[in-house]
Amino acid sequence: MAHLNLTAAFNASDHVVAKGSRNFDIYQVDTSALRVAVKVPRPTSADAALRARRDQDFAEILLANQQSNFNTSFVCEMQIASVHRDTEVITAGIMKWFNHGNLLEYLSDHRITSEDKLRLTKDIAHAVCHVHSKNRIVGNLHPRNIMITCNHSAILSDVGMANFTTIEQMETVPVPDLWWYRPPEEIQDAGVNHTIPGDVYSFATVSYTMYSPISQRDFVRVSQFGHQHLQQPTDMPNTLWELLKRCMRQNPEGRPDMTAVIETLKGV
């Protein structure tokens, strides 16, 4: 993606939010080169010092991702930009606009085959493994942080943004809080650090979701018993099911790493 400087061209106050989450507003912007998504932290405080701290946190995350030099076949590129909100200059992340949206939207809009589910599972496995090879952790891996390309492949976004300072609480909390996909050690202790075994667990829950839609009953059960109650979906290959069960072990030390996951997936 060519470098884009939207400082003079973009003012968040002049645009309608296309998508959003608890901590970010996402704007769709057409430039002379391509359509992009501009990701801007939501203003959560009238205190200028706290807003400045939040802005710095976001800029540091984006810079760390750039320095990791991720392969854009696995992780979508997000540039650092300075944009306006009214008269205030703030940090934003700029990435390609994905017409197919994220994985959650894609599953809602498309009737995918068993072959598609397995292919996407392998895409996600390779992407997570790539991040780990850079000594980085994805953190809070879930379908809204997995984008679908024009070729219907899956790649990661928002690497390292699992922890983001919230102004109201002045502490670091998971963002966004889609805890169904999180490992038990994170559900039981919100202050626990994100880990590679935690990513492995979340990979398994995301993969499972493609084969079996989540109901409200599932959310209740997970909050009480974890993911151990899950049953094998009818169209999930046995080898994949056995692999996901190993990835969802309660003990983080008993989970395989993503290199082992990929080796097993070669036989599926």
pLDDT in tens, the chain (268 residues): 544 455 445 665 566 567 766 678 888 888 777 888 888 887 766 677 877 888 888 899 999 999 999 999 999 999 898 888 777 788 889 999 999 999 999 999 999 999 999 999 999 999 999 999 999 999 889 999 999 999 999 999 999 887 664 444 444 444 444 778 888 887 776 667 889 999 999 999 999 999 987 765 666 666 666 677 788 999 999 999 999 999 999 899 999 999 999 999 999 9
Query: pLDDT at position 185, please?
Result: 83
Q: In Å, how far from its chain's centre is CA 27?
A: 18
Strands 35-41 and 24-30, by their bridges, are antiparallel
Domains of the chain (ranges plus CATH)? 12-96 (3.30.200), 103-265 (1.10.510.10)
Closest residue by Cα to residue 23 from 93, 76, 70: 93
Distance CA 128, CA 124 (A): 6
Taking alpha carbons only, the member of 46, 257, 22, 50 closest to residue 161 is: 22
Q: Count of CB atoms within 10 A of residue 223's CB?
A: 11
CA angle 162, 10, 30 (to 5 degrees): 85
Distance (Å, whole) CA 63 – CA 61: 5
pLDDT for position 48: 77
